A = this chain, B = another copy of it.
Amino acid sequence: MMKLLITGFEPFGEHHTNPSQVLIKTLPDAYLGITLVKAILPVHAALAPAQMVKLLETHKPDGVIAFGLAAGRAKVSLERVALNWLDFSIPDNAGETIQHKLICEDGPAAYFSTLPLDRMLTALNSAGIPAEASLSAGAYLCNQVFYTLMDTLAQHKTAIPAGFVHLPALPEQAANSKQPIPSIGLEKILAAAFLMIEILGSPANT
């Protein structure tokens, strides 16, 4: 039976809710015969990467989709690139900020996502879920976990589909934000996750 690792993040900064956390709590334990191993990562630069590594070692998944929040984006963003770079001034939940630092001193500058992004984009937009490809996952913990994920798989020569997806804010967050940020409903986020899981489980990728 296929097993996918699906991760989200805790709330952080001014965000009292994280749609990726809500998604993880809402997803079932299995879908279309695929086992879903679900985990919520801490927004803690010193801990989150190690948890991702441990999840990979413990569960040996057949594929990984990591989710996070990118408040301000209007569409579900399928990230193409994990960058070897940490640079953030919004403190993580341990109160830390990091400037201009490599994630992995001797790692490559970047990894490409190994998810079937183009198939996923077509499927999402055809289903009426606003989705786009993105060339930068930022330099916050989302990118850190994404880079760690791809670097760990590369180190172990594990050729499974893996990548990162940024979610817009939820309507409830946008309703209470000072700036007019876009949002997307939980039902669309769920539909997006189900579609991406279905694509990973479909013959073309197994």
Chain B minimum-CB-distance residue to A182: B182
Q: Which residues of B contact A187 (CB under 8 A)?
A: 185, 187
Total contacting residues, chain A, CB less than 8 A: 42
Q: Is the CB of A80 within 8 A of B73?
A: no
Bitwise, A127-161 to B at CB < 8 A (1) or not (0) is 11111100110110000000000000000000000
When all copies of this chain in the complex are counted, the total is 4
A172, closest chain B residue (CB): B128
Q: Is the CB of A81 within 8 A of B100?
A: no
Interface residue? A3 (CB, 8 A): no
**Interface-located stretch among A38-46, A50-58, A103-111, A196-204:** A103-111
Closest to A183 in B: B130
Chain B neighbourhood of A111, CB < 8 A: 109
Stretch in A4-12, A22-30, A173-181 touching the partner: A173-181
Tell me if B83 and A175 are in contact (CB < 8 A): no
CA distance A83 to B122 in the complex (A): 23
| A124 beta carbon closer than 8 Å to chain B | yes
Name the residue of chain B whose CB is nearest to the CB of A131: B175
A130 contacts B184, C-beta separation under 8 Å? no
- Residue A85 at the chain B interface, CB threshold 8 Å: yes
Interfacial chain B residues near A171, Cβ < 8 Å: 128-130, 184-185, 188
- A98 interface hit (Cβ, 8 Å): no
* Min CB–CB distance A201 → chain B (angstroms): 22
A109 to B184, CA, bound (A): 31
Give the distance in Å from the alpha carbon of A50 to the alpha carbon of B37 in the complex: 48
Q: B83–A81 contact, CB under 8 A?
A: yes
Most buried by B among A75, A130, A139: A130
The complex places the Cα of A83 from the Cα of B111 at a distance, in Å, of: 10
Closest to A180 in B: B74
- Chain A residues at the B interface, C-beta cutoff of 8 Å: 73-75, 80-81, 83, 85, 100, 108-112, 118, 124-132, 135-136, 138-139, 170-172, 174-177, 180-185, 187-188
26 contacts between A and B (CB under 8 A): A74-B74, A80-B85, A81-B83, A81-B85, A81-B109, A81-B136, A83-B135, A108-B108, A108-B109, A109-B110, A124-B175, A125-B175, A125-B176, A126-B175, A128-B170, A128-B175, A130-B175, A130-B177, A130-B183, A135-B136, A135-B138, A136-B136, A171-B185, A182-B182, A184-B185, A185-B188
